Structure 1
Amino acid sequence: MRAAVFEAHGAPLAVQQLADPEPAADGVVIRVGRCGICGSDLHMAEEPEFGACPGDVFGHEFAGEVVEAGRGTQRLSKGDLVSVVPLASCGHCPSCLAGEPAWCPQMRLQGGGYAEYAAVSERQCTLLPGTASLADGAIVEPLAVALHGAVIGDVRPGDRVLILGAGPIGLATAFWARRMGAARVAVQDIARHQEARAMEMGATHFLCDPEAPVAASDRALGGKADIVFDCAGVPQLVAQSVEQVRVKGRIVMLGLCTRAASFVPFRAVSKEAAILTAAFFKRQEYEAALDVLSAGAVEPRALVSQTVSLAEVPETFRALKSRTGQCKVLIAP
């Protein structure tokens, strides 16, 4: 099979010929139909902290068709279309049984979607209903990440919500915040590339005022935010979020950042602001995200800005390292 392979930090991906995968006894082989390029993939290609090794095949937002099933599988058959929960785990520890495979001691992020085929366990697969496409199956994961953040942030009807960062997770967070009843949802970024897309996803305001971001959000929301979602992962946004949130408000950190961030604790303590973090999602949230798509919600599909072939992945991946008008790029191997 062909795959876009990671060779070294800072080096471009390379399309190579690899051996076709084989299913484990409790697993299946998927012919990848669509796979999203995630911002965390870009981090893994550049930052050693994420642990990528030469020969790895990235891609954890994927859906496809079952082409081979192991002898111990029980639910899936050849020809089934599935979306893959990319959290490989043991399947029987308390975290797995509670629908939280992210906290299984054996958890690892399941890659492999930048390829024609991928081997996964049967329990990681969620059947796609007839009303959901393979492209839908590939955006379930980022939608679930954003839903998990919205749940942790406890979005309530009437809330004033501020989202820092207009990438896919920030825009998906805007979608969920509006569905959960937020009255005002402002998306703030340092560029206007995603302004139209943010409004389509449910934002009520789009803010781009790098010189005075706090004043801009105060004006748009009519005061301080009940909840601030940091979806950009930029170190200075921790301190900025503290200034933008109300007394007893909540700050949810969803963006990935491996650099040190500093803020004045007194500024948060003086407000009794809660600083929360969100990582991954629950299995139930993954299924809820798919349910929304299969029920016909059109807004999340606005995330997809381009679909490319496997041969185009190295150049597309390189281009995404710089800020562009792209949002969620899908690969069609």
Structure 2
Amino acid sequence: MKAAVMQGLHKPLAVEAVDDPAPEAGQVVLKVGRCGICGSDLHMTEDEAFGVSAGDILGHEFAGEVVEAASGVSALKPGDLVSVIPIRGCGQCESCKAGEPAWCSQMMLQGGGYAEFAATMEHQCVKLPDGLSLSDGAIIEPVAVALHGVNLSGLQRGDKVLVLGAGPIGLATAFWARHFGAGEVVVQDIADWQESRAMEMGASRFIVDKHDPVGAAERALGGKADIVFECVGVPGLIAQAVDQVRVKGTVLVLGLCTKPDSFVPFTALSKEVRIQTSAFFTVQEYQASLDVLEKGAAEPRTLVTDTIALGDVPMRFEALKQRTHDCKVLIKPGE
């Protein structure tokens, strides 16, 4: 099969012919239908902290068609369309049974979506109901990441919400905040490229002010935010979020930052600000994200700005390392 293969840190991906996946007991092989290019994928090729190396095949936001089932598979058969929960746990421990495979001692992040075929465990697959497409299946993961953050934030109806960053996670966070009844949802970014998309996703205002981001947000919200969602992962933004949130408010950190950062603890302490981090999602939140699409929510589909062939991945992947007008780019490996 063909796959976009990692060549090493700081090097472009390359499309190569590699061996087809051989399923182990309990696994299925999928013909990958769609796979999203995630911001964390971009980080993985630039930062050794993620532990990926030459020869690895990235891609954890994917959906496809079952083409082969190994021994021990009972609920899936060839022809089934599924979305893949990319967090692989043992399936037997208390964390896995509770729907939290991220905290399994054997947890690993499932990759392999940048290829024509991929093998995965049956228990990681969620069947796509009639009416949902493979593209829908590929955007469930980032939507679930945002849902997990909103759930951890303790958001209440009527809350004033500020979302820092208009990437896929930030926009999906705006969607869920509005879905759960936030009174105001302001999205703040350093460029206005995603303004119309943010408004479609549920934002009430979109602001850009590089010179006075704290004041701009306060003016847009009519006061300090009850909750600030940091969805960028750039040093300095946690400190900014602390300035932007009200007394006893919450800063919810979704941004993936692997660089050293700092803030003045007294600033947060003096307001009794709660700083909560968020990673991954639960199986229940993954299912809820699928359910909201099945029930007719069109907003998450707005995240997708382009669908490209596997051969276009190396060049587009490098381009996405710089800010572009794209939001979520999907790969269609069969083309």
Fold shared by both chains (TM-score > 0.5): yes
Give the C-alpha shift of residue 131 in structure 1. Answer: 1.6
Indicate whether 1:159 and 2:132 are aligned.
no
Q: Which amino acid aligns with 2:149?
A: G
Are 1:147 and 2:139 counterparts? no
* Residue 87 (structure 1) shift: 0.6
1:154 Cα offset (Å): 1.2
Shift of 1:49: 0.8
Report the CA distance between 1:71 and its aligned residue: 1.4
**4+ residue runs over 2 A deviation:** none
Q: 5+ unaligned residues in a row in structure 1: which ranges?
A: none
Look up the match of 1:253: 253
Q: Say if 2:147 is the partner of 1:136.
A: no
Q: Secondary structure at the match of 1:83?
A: strand
TM-fit CA distance, 1:62: 0.2
- 1:262 maps to 2:249: no
- Deviation track 1:28-75 (CA, whole Å, cap 9, x = no partner) reads 000000000000000001111111111000000000000000111010
- Distance (whole Å) between structure 2 residues aligned to residue 260 and residue 250 of structure 1: 22
Counterparts of 1:167-206 in structure 2 under 5 Å? 167-206=167-206
Which residue of structure 2 lines up, in the alignment, with residue 41 of structure 1? 41
Please tell me the residue identity of whatever aligns with 1:170.
G
Aligned position for 2:242: 242
Corresponding residue for residue 215 of structure 1: 215
Alignment match, 2:56: 56
Q: 3-state DSSP class of the match of 1:74?
A: coil
**What is the identity, as a one-letter code, of the residue corresponding to 1:128?**
L
Post-superposition offset of 1:295: 1.2
Secondary structure of the residue aligned to 2:276 is strand
Paired letter, 2:213 = P
Measure how far apart 1:260 and its partner are.
1.1
List per-residue Cα deviations over 1:237-278 (Å, max 9, x = no partner): 011011000000000000100111111111100100000000
Distance, in Å, in 1 between the alignment partners of 2:271 and 2:86 is: 38
CA contact (8 A) 1:228 1:251 kept: yes
Residue 22 of structure 1, CA deviation: 1.4
- The 5-angstrom pairing of residues 1-333 of structure 1 reads 1-333=1-333
Partner Cα distance (2:297, 2:22) in 1: 36
Residue aligned with 2:214, SS:
helix
What is the Cα deviation at residue 85 of structure 1?
0.1
1:121 positional shift: 0.3
Q: Quick one: distance in 1 between partners of 2:252 and 2:92?
A: 30
1:137-182 alpha-carbon deviations (Å, 9 max, x no partner): 0000000000000000111100000000100000000000000000
* d(CA) in 2 for partners of 1:164, 1:210: 12
Aligned partner of residue 46 in structure 1, secondary structure: coil
Deviations 1:180-208 (A, max 9, x none): 00010000000111111000100001010
- TM score, norm. by length of structure 1: 0.99
**Per-residue deviation, 1:25:** 1.2
Q: Please tell me the residue identity of whatever aligns with 1:254.
A: L
Secondary structure, in 3 states, of the residue corresponding to 1:293?
Answer: helix
Q: Matched residues in 2 for 1:285 and 1:238: separation?
A: 25
Q: CA deviation at 1:311?
A: 0.2
Contact conserved, 1:131 with 1:295, CA < 8 A, in 2?
A: no
Q: CA deviation at 1:294?
A: 1.1
**Once structures 1 and 2 are overlaid, which stretch shifts more, 45-54 or 96-105?**
45-54
CA distance in 2, matches of 1:186, 1:154: 17
| Distance in 1, Cα, partners of 2:52 & 2:20 | 21
Identity %: 63
In structure 2, list runs of 5 or more residues that go unmatched: none
User: Would the aligned equivalents of 1:228 and 1:241 in 2 still touch at CA under 8 Å?
Assistant: yes
**Aligned equivalents of 1:79, 1:71: Cα separation in 2:** 17
Q: 1:259, 1:321 → 2: CA distance?
A: 16
Residues of 2 paired with 1:306 and 1:168: CA distance?
13
Cα distance in 2, alignment partners of residues 147 and 227 from structure 1: 14
Q: How many residue pairs align between the two structures?
A: 333
C-alpha separation between the residues in 1 aligned to 2:156 and 2:39? 28
* Counterpart code for 1:196: S
| Matches of 2:205 and 2:258, distance apart in 1 | 29
Structure 2 distance, partners of 1:110, 1:225, is: 36
Kept in 2: contact 1:175–1:300 (CA 8 A)? yes
Question: What is the CA-CA distance between 1:24 and the residue it aligns to?
Answer: 1.2
Q: Name the amino acid aligned to 2:133.
A: S
Partners of 1:284 and 1:44 lie apart in 2 by 27
RMSD: 0.5
How far apart are the structure 1 equivalents of 2:250 and 2:184?
Answer: 15
- Equivalent AA in structure 1 for residue 266 of structure 2: F
Q: TM-score of the superposition, structure 2-length normalised? A: 0.99
3-state SS in 1 of match to 2:45: helix
